[in-house]
Amino acid sequence: MHLCSQSDAWEQEIIFKEVIIMKDWGNCDAVQRHPDKVSGAWVFRGTRVPVSSLFENIKDGASIEQFLEWFPGVKRSQVEAVLDFEVTTLVDSDS
């Protein structure tokens, strides 16, 4: 079993966040960003909830149901659209 050191985990966290930030979410209607809101981060449309919070919570073991409970402004359809977009872009990048 491989255990990551604290510095490895920290580096993976930074890489994870950079991927979320660098992705072009402009083609996903479930999200939006505005330079004057939430520091210009991609958020679920109509909320101030960053898209990265979905991935961070899932990474930490939360279910989609828990995420929706914790962030009541986010709709299930938005979460599904974000996850579908992520899968599509991963598949496209493998091609």
pLDDT score of 55: 93
| In-domain check, residue 46 | yes
Residues in the chain: 95
Total tally of structural domains belonging to the chain: 1
> In terms of pLDDT, which residue wins out, 7 or 67?
67
| In-domain check, residue 3 | no
Full residue range of the structural domain in which residue 74 is found = 25-94
For 6-56, the pLDDT digits (tens) are: 444 444 444 444 444 456 788 899 999 998 888 899 999 999 999 999 999
Q: What is the CATH number of the domain that holds 48?
A: 1.10.10.10
In this predicted structure, the answer to whether residue 5 has a pLDDT above a threshold of 60 is no
User: 15, 40, 43: which is closest to 31 by C-alpha?
Assistant: 43
Phi/psi of residue 60, nearest 5 degrees: -85, 5
| In-domain check, residue 14 | no
Phi/psi of residue 72, nearest 5 degrees: -60, -20
In whole angstroms, give the CA distance from residue 73 to residue 69.
Answer: 9
pLDDT classification of 62: cutoffs 50, 70, 90: very high
**Can you give the pTM of this predicted structure?**
0.72
